[in-house]
A and B are shown apart, each in its own frame.
Chain A
Amino acid sequence: MKRPVLARVLLRLYPRAFRERYGPEIEATWAAELAGAGPGRRAWIRVRGAVDLLAGALREWIRRGREGGGMGTITADLRYAVRSLTRRPGLTGAAVLTLALGIGSVTAVFSLVNGLLLRPLPYPDADRLVHVWSEHRERGWRDLDVTLPDAWAWRERTDAFQEMAAFSYVGITDESGEVPDRIDGVWSTWNLFDVLEVEPVLGRGFVEEDGREGAPTVVLVSHGYWMRMLGGDPGAVGRTVVLNGRPRTIVGVLPPEFRFLAMDAQVFTPWQGNPADGALNEHGWQALGRLAPGVDLATADRIVNEVSDRMATEHPESHEGMTARLVTLRREVAGDVAPRAAWIMLGAVLFVLLMACVNVANLLLAKGADRAGEMAVRAALGAGRGRLVRQLFVEALLLAGTGGGLGLLLARFGRDGMVAGLPDNLPPVFRFPLDLRVLGFALVVTLGSALVFGLLPAFRVSAPARALRRHGRGGTGVVGGGLVVVQTALAVLLLIGASVTARSVVAMARQEMGWDADGVLTARLSPRRDRYPGAEEVEAFHDAVLAEVRALPGVEAAGAIQSIPLQGGNTVGTVAPTSGTGEPDDWTVRISYVSPGYMEAMRLQVIRGRGIVAADGAESEAVALVNETFVERYLSGDEAVGTSLAWGRSETPIRIVGVVEDHIERSVDRPVEPSLYLPLARYPTWTRTLAVRSAGGTPEALVSGIREAVARVDPGVAVFQVRTMGDLVDLRIGGFTLIAQVMLTFGLLSLVLGAVGIYGVVSHHVARRTREIGVRLVLGAEPGDVRRTVVRQGLGRIGAGIALGLALAIPLAGVLRGVVVGVDPRSPIGFLGAALVLLAVGGVGAWLPARRASRVDPARALAAE
């Protein structure tokens, strides 16, 4: 059986008596564990086993201390370590600072990983909460909201869930205050809080009766709403608020720490009626379930899909081909990109820490060479090698501990900085405290660092051969050189990572959106249905608003759309050509409803045919625009204008009258989809977003004018989400910007650490060869030759490091694929750039000491001996 190296190394930390008696046994057990395990499991065994061995070693020493004798030497070691470290304040300070930077950065990034991925969501037994999506694989519909009857069938017809509810985010106009306010709300089946297992702090939660048709209308309010709108009135339960024109009685106030998933919802209202009788084709609900005890995700997924199959048989017209997909609530809320980005940042920062450790190891080696005499004396006085190693390792632990403590302080600032940089659309359920898990992680990292930077120098410095030979040569040469290679390689990797993410953000921000964000102000309007019950009334309202806005001074163009690009609120449907040969295909398209003037306000070119005009109304011919991708994908380049489409919501065929240029709609990191644009006048939506282009290029100046224009038409309509298009773009790119900033910081840090490391090794090398250089100069060598020899040696190692780094970068760049957009992580330019930067920085690091070498005064160098 192979002897496990890691276990053997760690066992050296134990008192000899224990090691001799139990060491082989522990190694054998360790090996037996590893023998039967797969690769992932093996890694875990090594990490967990190492923690076990470290903790055990600590236990053994404390135990020996209690029994007398041993503890005395430990305290002596500590006292000695403090003295030794304070005697070299410059060196100690440099080491502690380097470690603090490394450990602090790692801890700060880990607090992000912890908040996003490890901390449970703030609900009881949150890991049993799941989200259910509908899918239609044939049509390529993924992550489709579910219908109420679906959610209720999963609740009633399976035992997979302890409880299952459906909810929907809704915008709510709150007329309880002086001016109408627009707030986020949640509309749900009555049992939503039974799924979350959250109880109100005041009043009661929803009961089944609240969900009956015709029951009194009630509302649960958030703690924030209660404080802000009701002044924290302890008698708030029973008071009435007016939401979307409807009076509702407050039945309860939710706990202060409660946040609902993706939005900071203020009010919660129950849906009334029997959910099983809800619309079968209204995919407007999110299904949230709590798994029954003993049921796992895969089992629940299977059971839910059995019910979906039955639904498809019972309602083929709406459910044919529909399946369901379960994901854990955490994955659903965290999304895809954020977790991957967090892991990548953690990986990058671990490289930074490794570089910091290598630097400190370097320092200790250099110092160790100077301490050869001290070691020799102590050995002569009877200290065994184990004693010397332990002494040096205690020094390392002390350094790491101090660095770690300082690092925690830095981590706080780093965490605050990163959290401030997180995008505003990150779900409010996530918190990033420096909790026990983060502190524990920092402790492990600190101990791990001490092992990495402390053990090698400890063994080398205490080596008997070195201790006996004063001013031995060779010394740090090979090891120090190896460290330079490792460090250069790490720096190459970090620089490539930093440049790839930074270029990706620039590409995203600069990409051809299609529309021109500069000078555009957007604002959302939501007239109430009770005031504007019919399509004609609401269309007349929006028409009047647009007319008022267009008449404002400084407005170049204005139009409306149901949701502006990047705002969310994406609608997808299917259309089919009415003419043509063979089977009518279902074409999946993104659907937008626009008013005349919208394309002009966004500066979108209609490249063929015409745009939507005022004459395209409810009574005229049904017309639509499509985008270029639609034409390429579905019409294979045929003449689009004139083609007729069948669509479920239209009784007559819809004729394509124009083609608009491709532009970004859903997301900055997604490709353009085939799109269809229909006139709002024919398919009016109540809530719309205005796009207003200012003539002067300062859209902010239009804000008050627009508010007044809306108030002139109807003062009871809330104007909300007022922001420039540029702000919206920044908001969407925000998360990616944070990644790029963090990676750039790490890249720069790696350059500094790399330069310092190279400088340290080379200058130490030069210092130790002063005598030899002196002899050479006496024998007639030119200072230039000396300089060149030193620089050449340094550059050789840097070159080897660059080669190693580039070789490792090829597989690692693949990892970045998932989070970067618009750039190839393996582009040779990034690789070449990183190599050149390091060669330059490393060259300076080697040249400075080389210059010193060439100025050695031979007489003094020889006299020093």
Chain B
Amino acid sequence: MPNEDALKPQWFQILLALAGGPLHGTAIMEEVLERTDGDMKLWPATLYGSLRDLEERGWIRETDAPEDAPGEGGRRRFYSVTDGGREVLAAEAGRLARYLEVARERDVLGPARSG
């Protein structure tokens, strides 16, 4: 049985994006796209479906637009990560870090590359 609350990859990426500060939907999409080198494209319906799911779980919440936010021709909803969301994100990041550690020990990554 798939766990309803298991952290889906796109949730992780959205939380990671919001960990840097409040963002609106388009900005989240762009950041995730850039960070994953174009691998994860959050199309609008997927994005807002996920935002709604995260909001329901109390991991993110809608927040006021930062003062320096550009208008973009209309008011947009901004989201920020909650304390609960940070905990979940930290747990997941820690889990990934442990795997990375094992991979390093076993030389999966090869010699350290510069640049």
Contact = CB atoms under 8 A, between A and B. Distances in A.
B19 interface: no
Interface string B28-53: 01000000000000011111110110
A52 B26 contact: no
B73 A7 contact: no
A59 B52 CA distance: 13
Given A25-B76, A32-B72, A49-B44, A18 B25 contact: no
Contacts of B51: 22
A29 interface: yes
A27 to B, nearest CB: 8
A22 B74 contact: no
A21 B48 CA distance: 10
Interface in A195-247: none
B21 to A, nearest CB: 19
A103 to B, nearest CB: 25
Given A48-B43, A49-B43, A52-B43, A28 B48 contact: no
Interface string A15-34: 00010011011101110110
A456 B25 CA distance: 31
Given A32-B26, A52-B43, A26 B48 contact: yes
Contact of B44 (A7, A18, A21): A7
B64 to A, nearest CB: 16
A1 B44 contact: no
A53 interface: yes
Contacts of A29: 25-26, 29, 44, 47-48
Interface in B56-101: 72-74, 76-77
Scoring A18, A29, A49 by chain B CB atoms within 10 A of each residue's CB, the highest score goes to A29
Nearest to B46: A52
Scoring B43, B45, B48 by chain A CB atoms within 10 A of each residue's CB, the highest score goes to B45
B76 A55 contact: no
Nearest to A31: B73
Contact of A28 (B43, B45, B76): B76
A32 B47 CA distance: 14
Interface string A51-93: 0110111011000000000000000000000000000000000
B45 A26 contact: yes
A309 B107 CA distance: 42
B44 A59 contact: no
B37 to A, nearest CB: 14
B44 A26 contact: yes
Contacts of B43: 48-49, 52
B26 A22 contact: no
B49 A28 contact: no
B78 to A, nearest CB: 11
B25 A28 contact: yes
A138 B76 CA distance: 61
A7 B47 CA distance: 14
Contacts of A56: 45-46, 49
A30 B72 CA distance: 13
Contacts of B49: 56, 59-60
Interface in A686-717: none
Contacts of B73: 1
Contacts of B74: 1, 24, 28
Contact of A52 (B45, B52, B72): B45
A30 B52 contact: no
Contact of A53 (B26, B45, B72, B77): B45
Contacts of A25: 24-25, 44, 48, 76-77
Nearest to B45: A56
Contacts of B48: 22, 25-26, 29
Nearest to A14: B45
Interface string A25-51: 110111011000000000000001100
A28 B26 CA distance: 8
A25 B26 CA distance: 9
Contacts of A57: 45
Contacts of B72: 1, 28, 32
Contacts of B29: 29
Nearest to B43: A52
Contact of A18 (B24, B47, B52, B77): B52
A44 to B, nearest CB: 11
Contacts of B77: 25
A379 B63 CA distance: 40
Contacts of B24: 25
Interface of B: 24-26, 29, 43-49, 51-52, 72-74, 76-77
The 6 A-B pairs with the shortest beta carbon distances in the complex, nearest first, are A56-B45, A52-B43, A22-B48, A26-B44, A29-B44, A1-B73
Given A26-B48, A28-B72, A56-B45, 14 more contacts: A1-B72, A22-B48, A22-B51, A25-B24, A29-B29, A29-B44, A30-B44, A33-B26, A49-B43, A52-B45, A53-B44, A55-B46, A56-B46, A57-B45
Interface of A: 1, 7, 18, 21-22, 24-26, 28-30, 32-33, 48-49, 52-53, 55-57, 59-60
8 contacts: A1-B74, A25-B76, A26-B45, A29-B44, A30-B44, A33-B26, A52-B44, A56-B45
